[in-house]
Amino acid sequence: MGSAGSYGVGTGNSGAYMTEIAEPVRFEDEIRSLIQARFDAPPVSGGSFTALLGLSANQAVGLLHEPGAGEVSASAAASSPTGLGHPLGWSPTFPSNAGLAERAGSFPVFAAVDSPASSSDGGPSPPLKAEPSDSDSSPPLPVPIDKPRRRPAKRKDCEKQKAKGPAKKMKTAEEHTEGDQLPYVHVRARRGQATDSHSLAERITGTALVLDEIINHVQSLQRQVEFLSMRLAAVNPTIDFGGLDSFLMAECGPLAASNGRGEVALDPVSWSSDPAPGTGLRTDLRPSQQSSTAWVYPYALINHGTSLFGYGAANSVPLNSNQSKTDL
Amino acid sequence: MISPSSSSASSSRKKKMKRAETKWRTAAQERIYRRRLLEALRATASRAGPRAVKEAADSALALTARGQSQWSRAILLGRCRPRRKLLLKAGGKVRRGRRRPRPAAPVPVAAAAPAGKKVRDRLRVLGRLVPGCRQLSAPSLLEEAADYVAALEMQVKAMRALADALSAASLNAAAAGEAESRVV
């Protein structure tokens, strides 16, 4: 069993698993804290690139598009043809620069490639994220332009290291707080850097790096699924479906508590006592899976005796397929 | 499914994105998937083989997605042909990417020219990784990828727990059997 198992195969130890995903989890935490402010949503637990993608799906593409997608910013639409269309020769007109920098600011991964990786609060981020939605007004200008100030210094490091996503996001917040306090005089210098050919090119590779991360993550997840399926295939012949209470009841602690004691007590009893009718039981449960409270009903039915279990496999299969069709 | 570039569409997509992120995290979804996974595994006990297990697990995952995402529809259609029309009604074109690999390079229309060849290449690779998303536009592809990643993480978690529980149970059974035989 201990073959090719780079993902903790055969260890059966969730600790090993946690260490190997420690980095993406850190990654996710930091992204999530920033996204929280953006969406004003309850924290997403254990989010991966989803949080990142949640922010960037439109803005990333808006950045990628040459003709400005109107959703990113109003000014970007007017200035985009001159903005991204001429990476080598940026037009000296300020509106295009501002629009470009604004759009850059709207994509935090690009705009804040470097900054000391410290914890960010929700405070700096909402004004930061809210700004790209504003039309061409002066307040947004210092913020996105503030970031390129430090960019040339640290960009090389960030380019070499791929897993800089969380650091980038953190720096967004950091630089923003500084941008508020700095006087307007500095704006002009940083604007030039924002639309510099090098900064543009490196901003684009930021997307490539992020996509690379996403691809690696998907590939690693798929590989893990494959290894786990190998493990399960090895275990399958010796399966004992009776002792699966812990597996089925895992992660259900809070929910079970909210639904009442009866559910928790019933489940182990039902599963362990009747492995064969378990299939029938499960298909009965599926039609009533509307909410977690609906679990109470099928479990209540268990108490009424084995009449339900008499359905057997023959009835449960068509029930299952019917339900699947209606679900879809 | 090329999304129009309007603020209303983007805001609705953002809401959909939020739902995609959070919907796979709920314990209810986990439970639903775990039960489906168990059922699928029981069905494949006859056909031993890791590939059958993986396919069963993926089908169970796609079922749990309820056909709301492109990749889930692609997985389900990859298994069952007769359901194709029914799933097409659910909305969305599905390509038989696995049966007939397309020789032509995909041309994602909406992501016409991301400034950077690297970006385009990576988008294409991502499209190949996510089932059924080879010819999607960049925003839809990213959306599908987000949903797919969330689903995969849940799948890995569930399968790991199941493998651990089963191996522990089989160990216990073996130990108990041994102890009994020794006593006798």
* Angle, helices B7-23/A49-64, rounded to nearest 10 degrees: 160
- Domain spans in chain B, listed from the N-terminal domain onward: 11-78+114-168
What is the average pLDDT across A14-41?
56
What is the average pLDDT across B52-59?
87
Is some CB atom of chain B closer than 8 A to the CB atom of A3? no
Task: Show the tokens assigned to B26.
Answer: 């709920």
CB interface of A with B, residues 8-37, below 8 Å: 12, 14, 17
CB interface of B with A, residues 65-84, below 8 Å: 66-67, 76, 83
What's the pLDDT at B52? 83
Q: Is the pLDDT of residue A305 over 80?
A: no
What is the average pLDDT across A107-116?
48
Query: Whole-prediction pTM value?
Result: 0.46
CB atoms within 10 A of CB A261: 9
What's the pLDDT at A199? 77
Length of chain B: 184
Q: Under a CB-based contact definition with an 8 Å cutoff, are residues A2 and A9 in contact?
A: yes
CB interface of B with A, residues 8-47, below 8 Å: 9-10, 13-14, 17-18, 20-22, 25, 27-28, 30-32, 34-35, 38-39, 41-42, 44-45
C-alpha gyration radius of chain A: 27
Length of chain A: 328
Q: Is the pLDDT of residue B28 over 50?
A: yes
Share the mean pLDDT of chain A: 54
Contacts of B23 (CB under 8 A, 6+ apart): B29, B150
Predicted confidence band of residue B154 (pLDDT cuts 50, 70, 90): very high
Q: Count the helices and strands in chain A (H runs, E runs).
A: 17, 0
The DSSP output letter for B103 is: -
Helix (H, G, I), strand (E, B) or coil at A33: helix
CB interface of A with B, residues 213-252, below 8 Å: 214-215, 217-219, 221-222, 224-226, 228-233, 235-241, 243-244, 246-248, 250-252
Helix (H, G, I), strand (E, B) or coil at A139: coil
What's the pLDDT at A313? 43
What is the average pLDDT across A276-305?
45
Is some CB atom of chain B closer than 8 A to the CB atom of A307? no
Q: Is the pLDDT of residue A212 over 80?
A: yes
Residues of B in contact with A204 (CB under 8 A): 114-116, 118-119
Q: Tell me the CA end-to-end span of chain B in Å, nearest whole number.
A: 68
What is the average pLDDT across A207-220?
91
Per mean pLDDT, which range of A20-24, A120-124, B28-32, B111-115 is the poorest? Answer: A120-124
Closest CA to A253 of A269, A268, A264: A264
Is the ipTM beyond the 0.90 threshold?
A: no
CB atoms within 10 A of CB A222: 18
Residues of A in contact with B86 (CB under 8 A): 325, 328
In Å, how far from its chain's centre is CA A168?
Answer: 15
Q: Is the pLDDT of residue B62 over 50?
A: yes
Of A224, A241, A279, the CB nearest to B156: A224
Cα(B140)–Cα(B115) distance, rounded to whole angstroms?
18
Residue of B nearest to A218 (CA): B149
Buried b / exposed e along A147-169 (16+ C-beta atoms within 10 A): bbbbbeebbeebeeeeebbbbbb
- Tell me how close the Cα of B153 comes to any Cα of chain A, in angstroms: 7
Task: Show the tokens assigned to B10.
Answer: 């983007």
More confident residue, A61 or A70: A61
Q: Under a CB-based contact definition with an 8 Å cutoff, are residues A259 and A293 in contact?
A: yes
Q: Under a CB-based contact definition with an 8 Å cutoff, are residues B167 and A232 in contact?
A: no
Closest CA to A204 of A217, A214, A195, A216: A195
Task: Show the tokens assigned to A288.
Answer: 């009533």
What is the average pLDDT across B38-61?
81
Tokens 């057997």 sit at which residue?
A: A312
What's the pLDDT at A234? 81
What is the average pLDDT across B120-140?
87
Is some CB atom of chain A closer than 8 A to the CB atom of B171? no
If you count residue pairs, one on A and one on B, with CB atoms under 8 Å apart, how many are there?
A: 249
What's the pLDDT at A220? 95
Task: Show the tokens assigned to B159.
Answer: 């399968």
Question: What percent of chain A stands above pLDDT 90?
Answer: 5
Predicted confidence band of residue B39 (pLDDT cuts 50, 70, 90): confident
More confident residue, A223 or A119: A223
- Tell me how close the Cα of A170 comes to any Cα of chain B, in angstroms: 21
Helix (H, G, I), strand (E, B) or coil at A297: helix
Of B138, B139, B152, the CB nearest to A225: B152
